[in-house]
Structure 1
Amino acid sequence: MTIDAARNPHPIYFAGAFATGGLLTFMVHLNGELARYGNPLFSSWTAHGTGIIAAVILLLLVHRRRMPRQEKTLKAPLWAYFGGISGAATVMLTSTAVNSPLGLSGTLALGLAGQVVFSVAADSWGLFGMRKRHPDARDIAALGLVVAGAALIILFGRGAA
């Protein structure tokens, strides 16, 4: 991928990322409701159980009959298989936080701030085999705006904690 292609992605990627944010909000709300009527562990088990069922159905719908060529098959690093652990922790933590005075918007605002902080750190340190990319002034400014926006939602929003 060229630098120009990376800086000017197709609009479908923006739409997909925006839709993902909406789905994430919906998921956090539903998981919070499950936790409210049960507990965060029940919420996580239910979310991941229904996720497995949905994934199997989607795989059956889009399954391709041809097998991948052996010479092109790469093995994922061992640490890549631990994404489910962070997913389970995320469901349990957000299910708890969304039922606190933070509410849905405060939980997601802090979650977004945490995502941005961690991603800038991962880029600058080259975590998980990524190429190092040191943040520039725009990255730091964007990081500050996201954190400030999260603080505004939590401290001065209509449902302030």
Structure 2
Amino acid sequence: MTTEAARNSHPIYFIGAFATGGLLTFMVHFNGELAHYGNPLFSSWTAHGTGIFAAVILLLLVHRRRRPTVGKAPNAPWWAYFGGISGAATVILTSTAVNSPLGLSGTLALGLAGQVAFSVAADSWGLFGLPKRRPDMRDIVALGLVVTGGALIILFGRGGA
């Protein structure tokens, strides 16, 4: 996305992305609590089980009897089916990390740093069918700021080492 396109994006996209970050914080906290009283695998099974239940309820509520007249949707690439595996691993790892001295903020700070680093690499190498995009100085500076912010939270935040 170009800088101009980002500036002209509808505000709902930014609000939605910000709200997703808040929901992610709740999810990591709740899963960490489940892992504290059980174990990380139990936390992952519970999270995904309730997710399936919520998805089925949502599908039943929004299901329409009329089918769209559009042609058959294209098949998803084979690697798209591994999203569940990475989701389960994410729940297990964050449930473990949030119950460590990192706490919630340290876990999320390192998670954000990992997301940004992997996203820059995925853009750079054109992974998962993305168009190849060479990281520019802004990408590198943004990554450095996220990593620095994460380090500040972990090393000097309340309860830091």
Partner residue in 1 for 2:40: 40
AA aligned opposite 2:87 = G
Partner residue in 2 for 1:16: 16
Partner residue in 2 for 1:117: 117
Say which is worse superposed, 110-119 or 65-74, in terms of deviation. 65-74
- Whole-angstrom CA distance in 2 between matches of 1:89 and 1:126: 23
Could you say what secondary structure the match of 1:71 adopts? coil
Moved over 6 A (4+): none
- Whole-angstrom CA distance in 2 between matches of 1:89 and 1:72: 32
CA RMSD of aligned residues (A): 1.7
Q: Report the alpha carbon displacement of residue 64 of structure 1 after superposing the two structures with TM.
A: 2.4
Partner residue in 1 for 2:80: 80
Q: Report the alpha carbon displacement of residue 63 of structure 1 after superposing the two structures with TM.
A: 1.5
Gaps of 5+ in 1: none
1:54 aligns with 2:37: no
- Whole-angstrom CA distance in 1 between matches of 2:157 and 2:4: 38
Gaps of 5+ in 2: none
- Whole-angstrom CA distance in 2 between matches of 1:35 and 1:105: 17
- Whole-angstrom CA distance in 1 between matches of 2:36 and 2:3: 46
Distance verdict in 2 for CA 1:118–1:2, change over 3 Å: closer
Q: Report the alpha carbon displacement of residue 43 of structure 1 after superposing the two structures with TM.
A: 0.2
- Whole-angstrom CA distance in 2 between matches of 1:85 and 1:148: 29
Q: Report the alpha carbon displacement of residue 9 of structure 1 after superposing the two structures with TM.
A: 1.3
Say which is worse superposed, 87-96 or 69-78, in terms of deviation. 69-78
Per-residue CA deviation, residues 67-112 of structure 1 (Å, 9 max, x unaligned), is 2446351110011011000000000000000000000000000000
Could you say what secondary structure the match of 2:19 adopts? helix
- Whole-angstrom CA distance in 2 between matches of 1:149 and 1:3: 23
Q: Report the alpha carbon displacement of residue 62 of structure 1 after superposing the two structures with TM.
A: 1.4
Distance verdict in 2 for CA 1:18–1:50, change over 3 Å: same
Per-residue CA deviation, residues 9-39 of structure 1 (Å, 9 max, x unaligned), is 1100000000000000000000000000000
Partner residue in 1 for 2:128: 128
- Whole-angstrom CA distance in 1 between matches of 2:59 and 2:4: 34
1:157 aligns with 2:152: no
Q: Report the alpha carbon displacement of residue 5 of structure 1 after superposing the two structures with TM.
A: 3.4
Say which is worse superposed, 71-80 or 135-144, in terms of deviation. 71-80
